[in-house]
Amino acid sequence: MKNIRVFFSILTISWAGISICNYSTASQVNDTNISDFAHRLDDGGITSEKSIWNGYERHDFIYDTRRCIVVIPKNPAGHLPWIWRARFFDHEPQTDLKLLEKGFHLVYMDVVDLFGSPSAVNHWNTFYNYLTRHHHFNPRPALEGMSRGGLIIYNWACANPDKVACIYGDNPVCDFKSWPAGRGKGKYHQPSWEACLKAYGFTEVQALKYKHNPIDNLEPLARSVVPILHVCGTSDTVVPMPENSDIIEKRYKKLGGKITVIRKPGLGHHPHSLKDPAPIVDFTLSYTTPDYDKFRHNLRHGLTNSHIKFTRQKKGRVAFLGGSITYNSGWRNMLCHYLQQRFPQTQFEFIAVGIPSTGSTPGAFRLTNDIFKNGPVDLLFEEAAVNDATNGRSDIDHIRGMEGIVRQARMLNPDIDIVLMHFVDPEKMKVYNNGGTPAVIRNHEKVAEYYQLPSLNLALEVTERINAKQFDWSNDFRNLHPSPFGQNVYFRSIKHLLDFAWSQPLPENSRQTPNPMPAEPFDKFSYYRGRYVDIDKAELIEGFTYDPLWNPEDNIGTRSGFVNVPVLKASQPGAVLKLKFTGTAVGIFVTAGQDVGIIEFSIDGSAFRQIDQFTQWSSNLHLPWAYILDAELNPGIHELTLKTTDQKNQKSTGHACRIVHFLLN
């Protein structure tokens, strides 16, 4: 092939009101070893000017009417990562050069005159699609925005949060009212402000009322767990930190986003970057590894029925069953919002019945009452791995409780889709880091496999991501009750599972079909016929009384659904009640507060057995606790006798027993 003579004119650009000149010298390059990128450009009918930039092959070309640059690494990384620079190509390039050494492509598209407007975002969308589809670049680039480049990297990222690996802003403009409008302490630059108004099609009044600058629109990034790094001069008078990066930092943290701000004391808008770019490079590398997305889900039979129901019938009933991580606001709220956005024409009913401290055993007995009382449920999210473990339930309990929920739900609605989730806690992380699998996850997965349920192992994902130093437990996740950041991690992974399950269009004539239902249960004594029995069915022999609206007098905590409700209560030893029932299992749902004692029970006249109602949390909480008294009875009619005793846990203050529900299988 012929040698190509390439030349570049002097380019004068306005940088936040400061004009600078970028001189690129002519160079002659030999095209005998033209890169694969260049071949693909040719295949697409695009002519590029090829040169050498800092020792690397550079291509300049026009795409979608905009000037574009792609610099090719000498040894491209296999997963084709790239850093997408928004502005001021070639200025303070030390980060770009280090990433080129690591196998990154360096990409630039000039939308300087568009100030991050919707038109700029559209140009970037088109270029992104071209690079990822035609050149197979990694679907999640790192974004780099200096000064006014902050407007486009943020606005594009907020429009495409799932396509962003990370954001590096360098003294970035995050609100055009600060610069170029100069309506605060930022520097006013009239030509740029007039160009900005033109790009958005705004009058000045409209622009000053605009509520979608980067500082206003961070929630999509937080929900997608996009990490952010800012490098800023604390004395910047052109793009002042208090009007830009400080607001981003405060609001992003409040939303649960992960952001780091490197402050350069006493420095202004210039110089950009860092003399040693290692912190920027390390940040970028951390979030662009080939296996960054450590999603741990198993789709199995899938979620086709709910997809059909939401898409074709435009109605959906979605339920959330679990403990405190389901009860608390966070991932569940985000997921409801996501479903409404994904199916905007669908009328949803969301049933949130998480009860803190409860796991799969109580879940199986309250399913009909709490989930299905208003009719069939189309999609059920179930989590119990944290409480089943921390509450000391046995391996058998793990299986019987979880199968009780799953099989019972399938019996009530054969078309129901169920997602089984395993949330994280420090003990599970310890087991994984020691090379094992937590028993509760192993047991719940047996049920998921038996019934071909989609499952999502968030415990393993979080452990792996912490080990990969993407975030840490103490500062970021913080607790088994996740911080806002942790809630975002959970939501992102659940959303990914649903996106994956619903990625293909539905066949035209698709219809809901019953999900797999094995003829026999995995464990014949599992609680798949579990239900509540009203306490008024009991015969009160002595000492127990009926309180129609129980409320504690000791001012310690309670749980919703277990206060201001009817209970059978006794406070002294020697209280007795009886219950006749039909089934293979019987239990009680009690409020196990600081004053509960040891009770004893007999079934069908058998020897009395004892249960200490006091739990490790009872001192500070009237804890809802399900005690299964016997789970392997012969089918038929039985009689339970239950007594309070004069014995108690040494930490307890009394001998009380308060029964909210009887449990029968």
Give the mean model confidence (pLDDT) for residues 584-601: 97
Burial class (CB in 10 A: 0-12, 13-18, 19+), 88: buried
Q: Tokens 């239902």 identify what position? A: 517
| pLDDT exceeds cutoff 90 at 26 | no
Q: Give dist(CA 370, CA 547) in Å, integer.
A: 22
pLDDT value of position 508: 87
- Provide, rounded to the nearest whole percent, the portion of the chain with pLDDT above 70: 95
Give the mean model confidence (pLDDT) for residues 187-203: 97
Q: Of 376, 347, 374, 361, which is closest to residue 514 (Cα–Cα)? A: 376
pLDDT value of position 665: 96
Give the mean model confidence (pLDDT) for residues 287-297: 91
Longest dimension (CA), the chain: 104
Quick one: which H or E segment has residue 549? strand 545-550
**Residues contacting 598, CB < 8 A, separation 6+:** 610, 611, 612, 613, 645, 647, 648, 649, 655
pLDDT value of position 630: 97
| pLDDT exceeds cutoff 90 at 232 | yes
pLDDT value of position 89: 94
Give the mean model confidence (pLDDT) for residues 523-528: 97
| pLDDT exceeds cutoff 50 at 10 | no
| pLDDT exceeds cutoff 60 at 244 | yes
- Is beta strand 657-664 parallel, antiparallel or unpaired with respect to 565-570? antiparallel
pLDDT tens digits, 599-649 = 999 999 999 999 999 999 999 999 999 999 999 999 999 999 999 999 999
Q: Give dist(CA 478, CA 484) in Å, integer.
A: 10
Give the mean model confidence (pLDDT) for residues 147-167: 97
Q: Give dist(CA 164, CA 477) in Å, integer.
A: 21
| pTM assigned to the model | 0.87
b/e for 639-653, b at 16 or more Cβ within 10 A? Answer: ebbbbbbeebeeebb
Amino acid at 369: N
In degrees rounded to 5, what are phi and psi of residue 169?
A: -110, 135
pLDDT tens digits, 92-139 = 999 999 999 999 999 999 998 999 999 999 999 999 999 999 999 999
Q: Of 190, 139, 191, which is closest to residue 163 (Cα–Cα)? A: 139
pLDDT value of position 44: 77
Q: Give dist(CA 158, CA 206) in Å, integer.
A: 21
Burial class (CB in 10 A: 0-12, 13-18, 19+), 39: exposed
pLDDT value of position 19: 31
pLDDT value of position 28: 33
The DSSP secondary-structure symbol of 459 reads H
pLDDT value of position 81: 97
Q: pLDDT confidence of 24, banded at 50, 70, 90?
A: very low
Delineate the domains of the chain, giving CATH numbers in brackets.
38-268+277-286 (3.40.50.1820), 297-501 (3.40.50.1110), 531-664 (2.60.120.260)
Asked which of 309-318, 490-499, 506-515, 539-548 is least confident by mean pLDDT, the reply is: 506-515
- Is beta strand 82-85 parallel, antiparallel or unpaired with respect to 105-109? parallel
Q: Give dist(CA 276, CA 296) in Å, integer.
A: 36
Q: pLDDT confidence of 481, banded at 50, 70, 90?
A: very high
In degrees rounded to 5, what are phi and psi of residue 592?
A: -100, 75
Tell me how crowded residue 343 is: count the other CB atoms within 10 A of its CB: 19
CB 33 within 8 A of CB 18: no
- Is beta strand 609-612 parallel, antiparallel or unpaired with respect to 142-146? unpaired
Mean pLDDT over the full length of the chain = 93
Q: How far apart are the first and last CA of the chain?
A: 81
pLDDT tens digits, 80-99 = 999 999 989 999 999 999 99
Q: Give dist(CA 529, CA 160) in Å, integer.
A: 46
pLDDT value of position 408: 98
pLDDT value of position 30: 38
Could you give the dihedral angle defined by the CA atoms of residues 187, 190, 192 and 197, in that order, rounded to the nearest 10 degrees? 110
| pLDDT exceeds cutoff 80 at 20 | no
Q: Of 594, 617, 556, which is closest to residue 390 (Cα–Cα)? A: 617
| pLDDT exceeds cutoff 70 at 18 | no
pLDDT value of position 174: 98
Burial class (CB in 10 A: 0-12, 13-18, 19+), 77: middle
CA angle 280, 284, 286 (to 5 degrees): 120
Q: Tokens 């999509």 identify what position? A: 220
pLDDT tens digits, 403-433 = 999 999 999 999 999 999 999 999 999 999 9
CA angle 417, 420, 424 (to 5 degrees): 155
pLDDT value of position 35: 65
pLDDT tens digits, 439-457 = 999 999 999 999 999 999 9
CB 245 within 8 A of CB 167: no
| pLDDT exceeds cutoff 80 at 12 | no
pLDDT value of position 34: 52
Q: pLDDT confidence of 291, banded at 50, 70, 90?
A: confident
